[in-house]
Amino acid sequence: MAMKQLARNFVKACFQKVGLDVLKEERVPRTSGHDLLIAVHALGICLSDAMIVQIGANNGTHHDPLHQILMAYQPRAILIEPVPETFDELKRCYESSPRVVCVNCAI
Mean pLDDT across the chain: 78
Q: Which range has the worst mean pLDDT, 3-7, 21-25, 85-89?
A: 21-25
How much of the chain, in percent, has pLDDT values that exceed 90? 29
Which has the higher per-residue pLDDT, 4 or 40?
4
Task: Give the dihedral sign, CA 93/107/5/100.
Answer: negative
Which of 72, 37, 75, 38 lies closest to 54 in space, CA to CA?
75
Q: Give CA–CA dist 63/25, Å, rounded.
A: 22
**pLDDT tens per residue, range 54-100:** 889 999 988 787 888 888 878 889 999 999 999 999 999 999 999 99
List the alpha helices (DSSP H) in 1-107.
3-17, 33-43, 67-73, 84-93
pLDDT reading at 102 higher than 70: yes
Q: Which residue has the higher pLDDT, 13 or 67?
A: 67
Q: Is 21 helix (H, G, I), strand (E, B) or coil?
A: coil
Report the pLDDT value the prediction gives residue 57, as an integer from 0 to 100: 92
Q: How far apart are CA 83 and CA 100, in angstroms?
A: 18
Alpha carbon distance 16, 19 (integer Å): 5
6-15, 85-94, 96-105, range with the lowest pLDDT: 6-15
d(CA 98, CA 72): 13
